[in-house]
Amino acid sequence: MSTVVTDKGFTIDDWNAGYEGADTLDLASDADLVSLDFNGIVMIRVDFPSFADGRGFTIARQLRLRGYTGRLRAKGHVIADQYAMARRAGFDEVEIDASLAQRQPEPDWLARSNWQAGDYQARLRG
């Protein structure tokens, strides 16, 4: 069973439309976005095969820069220390498995939920 992490903490996955429907897309961490048409897509999940694999952050940023405004979820091996980075890259939420949720409980994630604070680039801008 998966746990979804938002700025408010752990929540139950409320997405019940399925992940391979006409309005949903699962992307691998090495997905080619050049030919991707996300018109009509309301949710995209980007896979993180390892916490050391940061390609998903780049995918999220590129999707947002290309105008994707739907729900964007990081799925897999994202750790609590990466939550602020995931939010800044454009993810709305993170989906983790039960074993990671047990090793890194909700307070670990909530400690990073104020992801707008301490943003180095924002401090530089003014």
CA distance 50 to 64: 22
Supply the pTM of this predicted model.
0.87
Assess whether pLDDT exceeds 90 at residue 120: no
Enumerate the β-bridge partners of residue 48. Answer: 76
19-33, 51-65, 87-101: segment of lowest average pLDDT: 19-33
Domain ranges of the chain: 2-125
pLDDT digits (tens, 9 = 90+) for 2-44: 899 999 999 988 887 666 678 899 999 999 999 899 999 999 9
Give residue for tokens 């590129």: 62
**Pairing between strand 24-27 and 9-11?**
unpaired
Q: Give the list of residues 6+ apart from residue 101 with CB closer than 8 angstroms, or none.
A: 3, 10
